[in-house]
Amino acid sequence: MIRFDDEALAGLPLPPNCPEPGTCVRYEQPEPGLVVLVLDPPHRKLAVLDLPLMRDLALAIMRLEDDRALRGVVITGRAPLEFALGADIEAIGSIDDPALVERFIRLGQDLFARLHKMENGAGRRVRTVAAVGGPVPGGAFELSLACDRIVLADDPRSRIGLPETKLGILPAWGGSQRLPRRVGVTTALDAILKGTLLPARPAYSKGFVDRLTPPEYLVRAASDVAMGRASCPRRGRGRVGGVLVDRNPLALAAIFVMTRKTVMAQTKGRYPAALDVARLVCRAPLTPLSVGFVEEARSAAVLATGSVCDNLIGIFKLMEGAKKLGVLPGGGRPAPFAKGAVLGAGVMGGTIASLMAGKKIDTRLFDISPEALDAAQLDHRADLTKRKRRRRIRPNEHDAALDRLNTTGDLASLAGAEIAIEAVAERLDVKRELFGSLAAALPTDAILCTNTSSLSVDAIFDGLPAPGRFVGLHFFNPVRQMPLVEIVRGSETSDETVARVAALAVALGKTPVVVKDVAGFLVNRILGPYMDEALRLYDCGVAPERIDRLAEAFGMPMGPLALLDEVGIDIAAHAAQSLHQAYGERMSPCTSIRGLLDEGHLGKKAGRGFYAHSGQGRKARRSISPVLATHAPPSSGEGGSLSDEQVTEQMMLAMLNEGARALEEGVCASAAELDLATIFGMGFPPFRGGLLRWADSVGAREIVANLERTAGRVGGRPGGAARFEPAAILSGLARTGGSFHQTGC
């Protein structure tokens, strides 16, 4: 019995505009014996499996079970490419009581279990078919898995999968039990752990769905399957694999051990959902469904109320929020750019141009050096070839992207561009001259962006005509991998320009954050003190590998010294210098790397820095540079006596304090955006939810106390006291006991 009465729902959050019972699921009977259930909640633009929808689905199922003539059921969405967006994330995120979450999950499991192997009023089996299309993530897919067959709309917009682990939870409405039964343990593990949503073709070939059909025929085809008019064998894994692997306890145990090892290596156990998934999925084929459901629900309840899940859901919402930056001031999305230009064919400019060409923008890449242009073109082709080989893109998409990147040495030939992004040498005079001629060559409604990382956007664009269209667009290196883009708003940049550039960033697959035109913008400004503290720790005798190990233990993807090697020590030194000039004493850089620099230890590009680098690609190796032992003897021996906590604290607090100052000055609009920038721009550990969320979890009072303690310890060195003097906003929060996120700063 599925109950959605007051008792069952007690304590569970209902959406604010909860509609009347029975209104969320349309019940249609196009022919005798067939019922089509349409998920059509009036209170949502896109259907979400929230409590009202589940309640009405339960009502519909009960009605079906009384129907003696029923032979087939089709469950579908409002439109062929709109099914449902999965479980109600908001609701799950807002519950703090594990018992309550478990009850919520059990409700869904019971509901889907009724659908599974459904019988009509006369006791005969009813064939249930899910007719789905468009995005079918998480709960929506789990609902489909409970049906006898799944028919998916064959359309580029269709995406199906179980992305729950990305939010720190697991597919608990039967997903972790039914998917391995359907497609085999190995495929299911891979799909659930990665959490990617598969396009139609791969979903079909992996056996996620049983039939593909054009969206226009979706309901018709599903009806035929439900009524037995069309044969539609259940796909899934072959029998041999099923017997050898899924029914073989030894094989399952081996898979579990291997998976656990990989997961631990990748996440260091910080994402408990992955470990639970490995355990549940590997056990699934040998456990009865009902037992699996209980374990699944229990595990998910613990995960959903944990901090990791909260933080990951928080990030998910931030990303959704960031996408809204690409909306015009008057509402509506700007037309995508058709023609673009990139100036400077270095690695950065070349990659930006390559990304644009891949997104249907006719891109002309300008450089005065034909060698650089050819190299950029070849890099673009190599990337496309690789993606074609891996079947990420089809041959025609490969050709289209190939054709859309053209190179030129003639500035005048950029005349048709609607947007130009400059990525030339970081020199004010060079950039100003270039933008002078560019402004003359391009129409006045073309948007002009600079990809500067260290110069002032206002200084670059000062005095050029139509200043509203100039903006900073700061990509991070390596451009393909780094998901963040800082949109630097100059003093005269118009809202429309910001929106159009943000829309471009989103189209290029990046997450935009709008920042003020201050030195280092947001990310590099916060990163500066962190990296500098790492150098200072090294300088006072902490072993470099220990510094990096501790930063990684905190959750950073890479230690600060290894990162310095990646960036290039000369470039980092230059950046530190400009931060010092802008912010004065508290940014005074550590001078000990001078020696390394002078001897050409420039980092990875030179093959040596803090580490000795050898090999390329997969063969890349690094080991602590032997030079360090003899080089630059530590200026004081204090390092050896520092505890692990002190070392980590010194780096992270420096970062946090600068972040708080930036927030205070309004460099970005909110604490949430700052968190987003730290996660995507510098790899701040997602499970901690971002820099300020981490601070909130420690507590402002504690942070201030630690800052003061550290200030006392390092106060003697130049700028030490200034760097660790608690930012006003932190002291304020410490006094009031507030937090960054609650006060809504």
Partner 1 sequence: MIQLSKDGPGRSIVLAAGLRTPQARAGGFFKKEDPGHLASRLARELLNQARLDAGEIDEVITGCAGPPQTQANVSRVIALRAGVPERVPARTVARNCASGMEAVTSACASILAGEGDTYLCLGVEVMSGYPLVFGPQMTGLFERAFTARSPLQAAAAWLSFRPSFLKPRVALMEGLTDPISGMIMGNTAELLARDFGISREESDTFACESHHRARDARERGRFEREIHPHLPLGAKRGARSADNDDSIRDQQTVAALGKLKPYFTKPDGTVTVGNSCGVTDGATALLVMTEERAKELELTPLARIRSWAWAGLDPARMGLGPVFATAKALDRAGCELSDMGAIELNEAFACQVLACARAFESDAFAERHLGRSKALGELDLARTNPNGGAIAIGHPVGATGARILLTTACELEQSDCELGLATLCIGGGQGGAVVLERTTS
Two structure tokens written together for 76: 């579908």
C-alpha span between 715 and 729 (Å, rounded): 21
Q: Which is nearer to partner 1, 406 or 592 (CB)?
A: 406
Question: At residue 189, what are phi and psi to the nearest 5 degrees?
Answer: -60, -50
Residue 347 as a binder of partner 1 (CB under 8 A): the answer is: no
Other Cβ atoms within 10 Å of 13 Cβ, number: 17
Of 14, 46, 99, 382, which lies in the binding site for partner 1, with binding defined by CB under 8 A?
A: 382
Residue 374 as a binder of partner 1 (CB under 8 A): the answer is: yes
The answer to whether the CB of 603 falls within 8 A of the CB of 569 is yes
Q: Which is nearer to partner 1, 229 or 389 (CB)?
A: 389
C-alpha span between 365 and 375 (Å, rounded): 12
Of 182, 211, 364, 661, which lies in the binding site for partner 1, with binding defined by CB under 8 A?
A: 364
**ω into 478 cis (within 30 of 0):** yes
Q: Which is nearer to partner 1, 364 or 431 (CB)?
A: 364
Residue 99 as a binder of partner 1 (CB under 8 A): the answer is: no
Q: Which is nearer to partner 1, 335 or 378 (CB)?
A: 378
Residue 370 as a binder of partner 1 (CB under 8 A): the answer is: yes
Q: Which of 345, 491, 359 is nearest to 422 (CA)?
A: 345
Catalytic residue set: 474
For residue 603, give the 3-state DSSP assignment. Answer: strand
How far is the CA of 355 from the CAs of 324, 377, 380, 510, in angstroms? Answer: 21, 12, 9, 10
User: Smallest distance from the beta carbon of 545 to partner 1, in angstroms?
Assistant: 34
Residue 346 as a binder of partner 1 (CB under 8 A): the answer is: no
Q: Which residue has the tokens 């631990």?
A: 264
- HSE-CB at 477 with a 13 A cutoff on CA atoms is 18
User: Smallest distance from the beta carbon of 419 to partner 1, in angstroms?
Assistant: 17
The answer to whether the CB of 524 falls within 8 A of the CB of 682 is no
User: Smallest distance from the beta carbon of 396 to partner 1, in angstroms?
Assistant: 10
Contact stretch for partner 1 (CB under 8 A) within 153-161, 307-315, 368-376, 661-669: 368-376
C-alpha span between 544 and 539 (Å, rounded): 9
Binding string to partner 1 for residues 385 to 404, with x set by CB under 8 A, is what? --------------xx-xxx
Residue 378 as a binder of partner 1 (CB under 8 A): the answer is: yes
Of 23, 267, 287, 406, which lies in the binding site for partner 1, with binding defined by CB under 8 A?
A: 406
User: Smallest distance from the beta carbon of 609 to partner 1, in angstroms?
Assistant: 25
Q: Which is nearer to partner 1, 399 or 585 (CB)?
A: 399
Q: Which is nearer to partner 1, 417 or 691 (CB)?
A: 417
C-alpha span between 334 and 495 (Å, rounded): 12
Residue 367 as a binder of partner 1 (CB under 8 A): the answer is: no
Q: What angle do the packed helices 523-539 and 671-682 form, to 10 degrees?
A: 60
C-alpha span between 29 and 31 (Å, rounded): 6
Two structure tokens written together for 657: 């304090």
Contact stretch for partner 1 (CB under 8 A) within 167-175, 326-334, 365-373, 592-600: 365-373
Binding string to partner 1 for residues 409 to 438, with x set by CB under 8 A, is what? ----x-xx----------------------
The answer to whether the CB of 588 falls within 8 A of the CB of 580 is yes
Q: Which of 667, 660, 674, 642 is nearest to 703 (CA)?
A: 660
Run of H or E including 212: strand 211-213
The residue count for binding partner 1 (CB under 8 A) is 21
Q: Which residue has the tokens 């009865």?
A: 288
User: Smallest distance from the beta carbon of 338 to partner 1, in angstroms?
Assistant: 9
Q: Which is nearer to partner 1, 96 or 374 (CB)?
A: 374
Of 144, 299, 363, 377, which lies in the binding site for partner 1, with binding defined by CB under 8 A?
A: 377
User: Smallest distance from the beta carbon of 240 to partner 1, in angstroms?
Assistant: 25
How far is the CA of 407 from the CAs of 364, 383, 424, 508, in angstroms? Answer: 5, 17, 15, 20
User: Smallest distance from the beta carbon of 444 to partner 1, in angstroms?
Assistant: 17
Q: Which of 452, 470, 428 is nearest to 518 (CA)?
A: 452
Q: Which is nearer to partner 1, 28 or 403 (CB)?
A: 403
Q: Which residue has the tokens 């959704």?
A: 320
Q: Which is nearer to partner 1, 260 or 359 (CB)?
A: 359
Residue 362 as a binder of partner 1 (CB under 8 A): the answer is: yes
Of 227, 319, 375, 466, which lies in the binding site for partner 1, with binding defined by CB under 8 A?
A: 375
User: Smallest distance from the beta carbon of 369 to partner 1, in angstroms?
Assistant: 11
Report the interface residues with partner 1, using CB under 8 A: 362, 364, 370-371, 373-375, 377-378, 381-382, 399-400, 402-404, 406, 408, 413, 415-416
